[in-house]
Structure 1
Amino acid sequence: MSNKIKNNGITLIPFWKKILYSLISLLCLFIMMFVVFLSWRDFMSLVNLKEKVYFSWRVFFISFGFPISFHLLFSIMYACFSDSPRPYRGRVVNFLAWIFFVALLLSVPVSLYVDNKLKYSGYITCSKKSLIAPNEYVKNSKLCN
């Protein structure tokens, strides 16, 4: 027989695993918040039309894909401490899932539109430093590093 205690068909998680799962979730949350902060910083450079603008499809996708990821991490932590899984249904989850899929579908067309709009406004594209870096648009070619 397994050493796991079952309560109404639900396997109870030992306390040390709850703490471990919560710490891993918090670490993932902090990493996600850092990535979203960087994405929003790049997004705000586009909104303010600064001398240097950073934008790509990933900036748009990460910015609007964060809410569902945050909800999933919160649900994991909730399930650890309440010993009952949180249902993944309801208006909030449906709304967050729609935001995620709309962002997924719109990320590439919005990126292409922003690229054309910035080039039409007089911005030039700098060469990329890496494949995963967002596109860098500048008004003056001397600003390219």
Structure 2
Amino acid sequence: MLGASALLAIFICLSLLIYSYVISLILMEDEITFSASVLICFFATPLILYTFSCSVFFFIFDRQPKYNIIISKYLIMIAFASLIFSFPISIYVNYKLKHDGYFTCDKISWMSPTTYVKDLSLCK
């Protein structure tokens, strides 16, 4: 139970970071971090949080939540849909941001999300 609680706390912190990336895109801030992986994580976060929460719930009450199967089914469908739609949406966001005058910063690695900035001096 301690391990599941620790993983839940760590994942909540990571999901806040992912949500801050998406909010910066929605608000069109001066610095936006976005990629297909950010979008996948954004839509998979509810499934992972629910999974960790259910494991803690199971260890405390020794039973599964009442509507566990139904909730899991829909959260899994959302996560799979994010896999399918993340790449076309990522390509569109890349086009839209470049069209709106954003520049891309150099990536640290090929796996890191792309950082878009209004002014190149904001690149770190």
TM-score, normalised via structure 1 length: 0.76
What residue is the counterpart of 1:44 in the other structure? 23
Aligned-residue offset at 1:133: 2.3
Aligned-residue offset at 1:74: 2.0
What residue is the counterpart of 1:141 in the other structure? 120
Aligned-residue offset at 1:84: 4.3
Of structures 1 and 2, the one scoring higher in RCO (CA 8 A, sep 6+) is 2
Q: Which of 30-39 and 78-87 deviates more? A: 78-87
Matched, 1:110 2:86: no
Deviations 1:2-25, CA, capped at 9 Å, x for gaps: xxxxxxxxxxxxxxxxxxxx1111
Relative to structure 1, the CA distance from residue 141 to residue 104 in structure 2 (aligned partners, 3 Å threshold; closer, same or farther) is same
Identity of aligned residues (%): 30
Gaps of 5+ in 1: 1-21
Structure 2 CA distance for aligned equivalents of residues 132 and 30 of structure 1: 24
Gaps of 5+ in 2: none
Bigger radius of gyration among the two:
1
Q: Which of 68-77 and 32-41 deviates more? A: 68-77
Larger relative helix fraction = 2
Deviations 1:38-76, CA, capped at 9 Å, x for gaps: 111111111111111110112111111011112211222
Matched, 1:74 2:53: yes
**What letter corresponds to residue 63 of structure 1 in structure 2?**
F
**What letter corresponds to residue 38 of structure 2 in structure 1?**
V
Relative to structure 1, the CA distance from residue 31 to residue 131 in structure 2 (aligned partners, 3 Å threshold; closer, same or farther) is farther
Q: Check whether the contact 2:12–2:49 (CA below 8 A) recurs between aligned residues.
A: no
Structure 1 CA distance for aligned equivalents of residues 72 and 51 of structure 2: 9
Alignment coverage as a number of residue pairs: 124
SS in 1 for 2:109: coil
CA RMSD after TM alignment: 1.9
TM-score, normalised via structure 2 length: 0.88
What residue is the counterpart of 1:10 in the other structure? none
